[in-house]
Copies of this chain bind each other. A is one copy, B any other.
Amino acid sequence: MGREAVKTIDAAPDMVLAGVLVRRADEETLAFPTGVYDDPVRLLETEQPDVWLDLTTPDTVVSHVDLAFAHGVRPVVGATGYQEADLARWNDQASQTGIGGIACPNFAIGALLMMRFAKEAAKWMPRAEIIELHHDKKKDMPSGTAIRTAREMETEYEIPIHSVRLPGLVAHQEVLFGGTGETLTIRHDSLTRESFMPGVLVACRGVMQLRQMVYGLEHLLW
């Protein structure tokens, strides 16, 4: 996903790719169209970017975002692995400094629309079930998106979540609502990591206007 973002941001007419943090430089990363760093502090201090887009891993994301705030750089957090307490601390830092930030558990606009519609439909058709389908290498179940969707729906009924894990699948979710004599289905299919790129651009642009820490790309969309 990092590689995809490098291409996308480099191609965006209104952005400059300030630098790229890599775990280990290799042939491919050396071909990146900008400076490549393996130390986040050196990157922050040398390039002084406007935005810190973090697509790293659960073991590094928290320290990176802390560093970004410390250097006055707005974080766009795509990685997962941070806790409620981390979010609370970032909220405080953003409020005190006026440096906005955004944490996005999902960048795919179609997935965000699915969640939004599921929440709205549940008001009118409260009997529903979520089926999420992923490739068989996915470790966790149910998916984070399914859990968030169910939480948003808040009907008086419990919303079952069923997980399918099979080869050949990528990342899919279906929310099925049953009413009197009718059903409504909202389905999202994510086939490539490119699906996150329009959302990454929205986040990187939108974070420039924020004065606080925001959770969820939907705050920049509707």
Take A113-B125, A124-B109 as given contacts and tell me if A180 and B164 are in contact as well, using a CB distance cutoff of 8 Å: no
> Complex formed: what's the CA distance from A190 to B196 in Å?
21
Interface contact A179-B167, CB-CB below 8 Å: yes
Task: Name the interface residues of A185-199: CB closer than 8 Å to any CB of B.
Answer: 185-198
Task: Name the interface residues of A115-136: CB closer than 8 Å to any CB of B.
Answer: 116-117, 120-121, 124-125, 127-129, 131, 133, 136
Interface contact B109-A113, CB-CB below 8 Å: no
Interface contact A180-B166, CB-CB below 8 Å: no
Residue of B whose beta carbon sits closest to that of A108: B182
> Complex formed: what's the CA distance from A117 to B115 in Å?
11
Take A110-B177, A127-B136 as given contacts and tell me if A182 and B166 are in contact as well, using a CB distance cutoff of 8 Å: no
Is A209 interfacial (CB-CB < 8 Å)?
no
Is A178 interfacial (CB-CB < 8 Å)?
yes
Residue of B whose beta carbon sits closest to that of A196: B181
Contact partner, A164, options B176, B189, B194, B197, Cβ 8 Å:
B176
Closest Cβ of chain B to A151, distance in Å, is 20
Interface contact B185-A189, CB-CB below 8 Å: yes
Is A183 interfacial (CB-CB < 8 Å)?
yes
Residue of B whose beta carbon sits closest to that of A166: B178
> Complex formed: what's the CA distance from A184 to B54 in Å?
26
Considering only CB atoms and an 8 Å cut-off, how many residues of chain A contact the other chain? 50
Interface contact B110-A183, CB-CB below 8 Å: yes
Is A55 interfacial (CB-CB < 8 Å)?
no
Closest Cβ of chain B to A110, distance in Å, is 4
Is A67 interfacial (CB-CB < 8 Å)?
no
> Complex formed: what's the CA distance from A117 to B112 in Å?
12
When distances are taken between beta carbons in the complex, the residues of chain B under 8 Å from A124 are: 109, 113, 221
Task: Name the interface residues of A128-162: CB closer than 8 Å to any CB of B.
Answer: 128-129, 131, 133, 136, 160, 162
> Complex formed: what's the CA distance from A124 to B178 in Å?
26
